Amino acid sequence: MFYAFYAPAYSNSLSLNLVSEITNTELLGWLVYTYTFFIFLVISLILLVAMVGSIILVLNQNINVKRQLIFRQTLRNLKSSVSLKT
């Protein structure tokens, strides 16, 4: 991809040397932040709003919700939890 953009500006030997010196990660970063910057920015803002919205929905505290009391559950014994009715 890099060769296709810059091949006319350089001679063949120089452009091939530039392509071999650039790693895939550098090329991907260059393409993302040069040509698709605004799309990348919009998608990141949408994901940020989705994350904040999901956190707000999860942290909505309701008083009438039954919650487990783990300390009381671990202190139970057979005499206090089982009773026989005759």
> 38-64, pLDDT tens digit by residue?
888 899 999 999 999 999 888 877 677
Q: What is the mean pLDDT of residues 15-43?
A: 80
Question: What is the residue-averaged pLDDT of the chain?
Answer: 77
- Residue pair 35/27 in contact by the 8 Å Cβ criterion: no
Six-digit token string for 41: 């920015």
Q: What is the pLDDT of residue 19?
A: 59
DSSP tag of 74: H
**pTM for the structure as a whole:** 0.42
Tokens 């993302």 appear where? 32
Q: Measuring CA to CA, which residue among 53, 6, 45 is closest to residue 27?
A: 6
Whether 6 has a pLDDT exceeding 50, the answer reads no
